[in-house]
Structure 1
Amino acid sequence: MKKRVSLLLSASVLALGLGWGAEIAPALADDPADAAHAARSTARPAPQPIERTSSGTVTVGGKTIAYQAVAGTLLVHPRSWDDSEDTVHQETPGSETHAIDGNADATASMFYVAYFRKDARPETRPITFVYNGGPGSSSVWLHMGAFGPRRVMTNDDTHTPASPYRLIDNPQSLLDVTDLVFIDAPGTGFGRINGKDKEKLFWGVDADGQAFTRFISGFLAKYGRYNSPKYLFGESYGTLRSAVVVNDLQNQENIDFNGVILLSQILSYDNSVDEPALNPGMDEPFVLALPTYAATAWYHHKLPQQPAELKPFLAEVEHFASTDYLLALQQGAALPATDRDRIVGRLHDYTGLPTDYIRRANLRIDGGEFSKTLQADSDITTGRLDTRFSGPSLDPLSEEAGYDPQSTSISSAYVSLFNDYTRKILGYGDGLTYRAEIDIPHWDFHHAADGPDSTPSDGPANVMPDLAQALKTNPTLKIMLNAGYFDLATPYYEGIYEMQHLPIPARLQRNIEFQQYQSGHMVYANIPSLTRLHDNIADFIRRTDNHAEPTTP
């Protein structure tokens, strides 16, 4: 059991702060200790609570849903902050009295947009906390592309033309089954981090997990949602975050969750196919990425023999990857020449890559090399986040892809329309800059799997133990993994492998379910896949919200 840490659930953590106010004049004091305390207080600007409330409607499944939207920021302190010692109380206009720690300077003002269905009972209405990954990404992608009441329209697998872009009512919004809270990571969106050592205290696997844990705990207190059915929804790095956060919430804060919904999962960076050559002897990434290579070659008609259906073809590739291919890689230089030739031929059949290239790569092609090589005969680079996308190669002579065609194809539409939407519809953000993504060159990937007071590991982050502990300490917790066949950033077979290797009793594997889609990393960028994604998640929530309808006497 992780060591419990105190969390301020009074109005101090719940204060909504957009910016940072003027310094507070120090009080005169005869006692040197009081003077020092006052001096420390002047060094910390006071949070300014600002939030905006609006109303709207959206039609999902033929039914009109009226909702209230709240856009604002919630003040979060780092884990080391303790309101029980050395605090000073201040009055902030528009909020209750709250405590500010005189020692802990670092503070995160985390931006969020919450949607509450108006005709629902909060005590039985599910609530889902939604975020993207990065690290360093806001939640604009899931907000505007998947589940918010308004959605961006983009092209399916080609570059979306420049503005004007289209914003439509979203018939796939999840407001039919759950209230939604879209959370921007510290330093992104309209949120900011402030104070001494702020990057160290908020930008890292464990620091970020604690920030989200404190945000969610504070949100539940502010809006009185402790007894609601509760879910986490994370995408990409957000899946790694979810494993940390659900474990911390359950085992530090005594807040059990009903479910964790994962999209485009990565729990262990040892399994990443981005740069596996930096970890020689670790061949698993090549095995787990092969089915995605095959799906991509199938989509672009690069296979020597084109199968009619994708799913049976992928089942065949998965079997080969986990048997003959894995055994061949494990033999390394001891692999006999005849066996090497046979594996080269099978890889050619499944990826469409030239046999000479596969042989020179020593049977091991990483994600960037595959993206650059698959359509190199046409000077075309294949996408990474979504391999259905293609674009002109930046450098025809480079070994790897130099950019991601999907990202450049849709990002402008998402960011442009969100900036319009938040100001014109939500009434928030005038005069402010929305940071959809920020560059974090020194993210701390060290992770203390045994709790925040244990020694972090020196290797790549692996949060599989966290999710396993969350399942073992709450055996009613349900997990749903969603993935796109054409995702090369977090290959779908990698997610399956990680889930099937969690250190949990065999019976708890029944708590995990899998869904795949003919889309990429952002599954929702393809409208048929978004429709299936909505339906699958809605069904998952209805089955796990533990709410029994009242019976008629």
Structure 2
Amino acid sequence: MLHATESEPKAVKPPIVAETTHEARINGKKVEYTVLAGDTHLHNKQGEPIASIFSTAYFRDDVRDKQSRPIIFVFNGGPGSSSVWLHMGVFGPKHVVIPSDAERVGAPPYVVESNSESLLDIADLVFMDPVGTGYSKVLGESEPDAFWGVKEDAEILSEFIRVFITRHQRWNSPKYLAGESYGTTRAGAMVRELQEGWGSIDLSGVFLISSILDFQAGDFTPGNDLPFITFLPTYAATAWYHDALPNKAQFTDLPSFIDTVREFAVNEYAQVLLKGQWASDVERNNAIEKLHQFTGLSKQYIEQSNMRIDEFLFMKELLRDQGKVVGRLDSRYLGEDASIVSNRFEADPSAYAIDGAYTAAIQSYMASELGVLREERYNILSGDVFSGWNWLYGSSPRSQGFLNVAPFLAKAQRQNKDFRIFVANGYYDLATPFFATEYSMSRDEMDPARITMKYYEAGHMMYIHHPSLTALAEDMREFLTAQDD
């Protein structure tokens, strides 16, 4: 006789959804809204449950015409991150308030307050946690690797959107995706899943926050010189912020300084890297001198690095003489390592500076206000998901080439005349540098008339910088309302 575990399928508990009502003052107006926070079970073609997606959906109550009201599906990246950052940072009606100027938050209590910058007054919001993040998980006989991959992830989250808009009768509403970091890669893959082929779900656009679309422009690998070019303007911005430039006074402001660095990067610097040993001593020495002027790194270090300095070397070297390392997600942040002479930091100071606040905020907020009180772990950022990720998408394996989803967005523009793209860039973002995004979005097949590029004097999560939060919210609001023009 077989044991029960060998003969019976894994038991699947019914989905749990909490419904609560609230009101807030957003964009100067009183907004009453309903929140649905809980599980959506998705099934295979045989009707068997395969995955449970946890989402938090916000609906404004006094909306009579749902067909004209936009709905935004929001997620973060990783891969392996929950939606906590965009949820409690910029889009949601509540947000956690942390110091604006790159200070560590310390221990709780943290301030969680109404977010007057939320877009809930003009759009409904759905925050999605991919499988293995938040409370989302596999069901039944499914295995995680069925969902942990570029295409697999895009497919299951696109299926969630199909089920959601069917259940809530939103097929005819303007629909947007909003992603941050790898979430922008996810958005590109989901655009392809949703819009291409018969029975498509056409979108009005995407919000790309701290983008990584073409990994060739962002991955430092032997033989690939492109990232040394695309990261350079962020190195320069970081050195500017920390007063590490040898002659900062000769530049009037950050944007004009960055323009100068861009010009050097795509011309003199790119040519020297391309020429390699064919470059003359004069060309090499001129490039080294300008790299010193633009990054603050010593000429000896630049020369000994063969003019090729990756992000981790830069973060450790810039302020080494002060015993400081700069952050990766936000290079305004500073940290201290046990070893000054190592070539890589112990941990990202811009990550451990804010992680505790966001983790506590989402747990406290869900339990106290949304009726979601679960003893299981809410996975903020899962290393298991990241390490188990399948980067193969069609014929473009990241391990052999470079994943690039920008062409999917270009195709979406060609096939959908209303498809628009909003791009938010942080000057101090060393994870997804803004010049790499500019490179990805400047390819010939893209339609620049339907691309909005914005810049903020902050990092990867630019919304933790209070002035940038206000500017970002205003920019996204203007982009969203432009659909009616």
Q: 1:502/1:463 Cα in 2 relative to 1: closer, same or farther (>3 Å)?
A: farther
Residue 74 of structure 1 and its aligned partner are, at CA, apart by: 1.1
| Percent identity of paired positions between Structure 1 and Structure 2 | 37
Find the counterpart in structure 1 of residue 422 from structure 2: 480
Q: Any idea what SS the aligned residue of 1:481 has?
A: strand
Contact 2:9 2:141 in 1 (8 A): no
Q: Match for residue 162 of structure 1?
A: 107
Q: Which residue of 1 aligns with 2:81?
A: 137
Change (3 A) 1:456 1:370: closer
Mapped partners of 1:365, 1:336: distance in 2: 20
Contact 1:44 1:195 in 2 (8 A): yes
Q: Equivalent residue for 2:190?
A: 245
1:236 aligns with 181
1:114 corresponds to which residue?
57
TM-score, normalization by structure 2: 0.94
* Partner Cα separation in structure 2 for residue 74 and residue 479 of structure 1: 28
- In the alignment, the residues of structure 2 paired with residue 163 and residue 460 of structure 1 have an alpha-carbon distance, to the nearest angstrom, of 41
**Shift, 1:449, TM fit:** 6.4
Distance 1:164 1:502 in 2: 50
1:515 deviates by: 0.5
The one-letter amino acid paired with 2:36 is: V
Preserved contact between residue 172 and residue 534 of structure 1 (Cα < 8 Å): yes
Preserved CA contact (<8 Å) 1:448 1:457: no
Q: Where in structure 2 are the equivalents of 1:20-419 lying within 5 Å?
A: 42-77=8-43, 81-82=44-45, 87=46, 100-101=47-48, 107-120=50-63, 121-156=65-100, 157-196=102-141, 198-252=143-197, 253-273=199-219, 276=220, 278-280=221-223, 282-306=224-248, 307-419=251-363
Kept in 2: contact 1:113–1:181 (CA 8 A): yes
The answer for the alignment partner of 1:17 in structure 2 is: none
SS at match of 1:257: coil
Q: Given the alignment of the two structures, is residue 460 of structure 1 paired with residue 402 of structure 2, yes or no?
A: yes
In 1, are the aligned partners of 2:391 and 2:398 still within 8 Å (CA)? no
Match of 1:498 among 421, 430, 440: 440
Question: What secondary structure is seen at the aligned counterpart in 2 of 1:110?
Answer: strand
Distance, in Å, in 1 between the alignment partners of 2:140 and 2:238 is 46
Q: Residue type of the partner of 1:199?
A: P
Deviations 1:342-381 (A, max 9, x none): 1000000000001100000101110000000001001111
* Distance in 2 separating the partners of 1:196 and 1:48: 16
**Contact 1:449 1:466 survives alignment (8 Å):** no
* Counterpart for residue 5 of structure 1: none
TM score, norm. by length of structure 1 = 0.83
Q: Map Cα deviations across residues 263-297 of structure 1 (whole Å, 9 max, x no partner).
A: 00001211115xx1x331x2110111100000000
The change in CA–CA distance for 1:423 and 1:236 in structure 2 (over 3 A counts) is: same
Q: Is 2:462 the counterpart of 1:523? A: yes
* Structure 1 pair 320–456 and aligned structure 2 pair: CA distance change class (3 A): closer
Is this contact kept in 2: 1:60–1:171, CA < 8 A? yes
Structure 1 stretches of 4+ with a deviation exceeding 6 A read none
Q: Match of 1:448?
A: 394
| Alignment match, 2:413 | 471
CA distance in 2, matches of 1:415, 1:470: 35
Change (3 A) 1:474 1:368: same
| Paired positions, count | 475
For 1:195 and 1:331, the matched residues in 2 are separated by 56
- SS of corresponding position for 1:242: helix
Counterpart CA distance in 1 for 2:372 and 2:460 is: 29
**Structure 2 letter corresponding to 1:526:** H
CA distance in 2, matches of 1:245, 1:429: 31
In 1, Cα distance between equivalents of 2:354 and 2:11: 38
Shift of the alpha carbon at 1:458?
Answer: 4.2
Sort the Cα spacing of 1:344 and 1:538 in 2 relative to 1 into closer, same or farther, 3 A: same
Question: 2-side partners of 1:476 and 1:160: how far apart?
Answer: 42
Alignment partner, residue 16 of structure 1 = none
| 1:192 partner amino acid | K
Q: Is the 8 A contact 2:54 2:129 kept in 1?
A: yes
Cα shift readout 1:192-225 (whole Å, capped 9, x = no counterpart): 1234462221000000010111011111011111
Instruction: Give the aligned residue type for 2:376.
Output: L
Residue by residue over 1:60-117, the C-alpha shift from the partner in whole angstroms, topping out at 9 and shown as x without a partner, is 221111110110111234xxx32xxxx4xxxxxxxxxxxx33xxx7x22111100001
Counterpart CA distance in 2 for 1:502 and 1:380 is: 41
CA distance in 1 between partners of 2:291 and 2:170 (Å): 52
Structure 1: unaligned runs, 5 residues or longer:
1-24, 27-38, 88-99, 549-553
| Partner-residue secondary structure (3-state), 2:34 | strand
CA contact (8 A) 1:381 1:391 kept: yes
Letter matched to residue 490 of structure 1: T
Distance 2:400 2:388 in 1: 15
Give the residue type in structure 2 aligned to 1:212.
Answer: L
Q: Which has the higher contact order (CA 8 A, sep 6+)?
A: 2
- Three-state SS of the structure 1 residue aligned to 2:120 is helix
8 Å Cα contact 1:464-1:502 kept in structure 2 = no
Opposite residue 143 of structure 2, the aligned amino acid is K
SS where residue 181 of structure 1 aligns?
A: strand
Query: Which residue in the other structure is 1:33 paired with?
Result: none
Counterpart residue type for residue 231 of structure 2: A
Q: CA deviation at 1:463?
A: 1.3
Q: Which runs of 5+ in 2 are unaligned?
A: none
Asked if the contact 1:387–1:488 (Cα under 8 Å) also holds between the matched residues in 2, the reply is: yes
- 2:142 and 2:214 map into 1 onto residues whose CA distance is 27
Q: Does the CA-based 8 Å contact 1:447-1:457 persist in structure 2?
A: no
Equivalents in 2 of 1:534, 1:362: separation in Å?
42
Per-residue deviation, 1:186: 0.7
Cα contact 2:208–2:422 (8 A) shared by 1: yes
Residue of structure 2 equivalent to 1:9: none
| Higher alpha-carbon Rg | 1
- Residue aligning to 1:97: none
Task: Assess, with a 3 A threshold, how the Cα gap between structure 1 residues 502 and 423 changes in structure 2: closer, same or farther.
Answer: farther
Q: CA RMSD in A?
A: 1.9
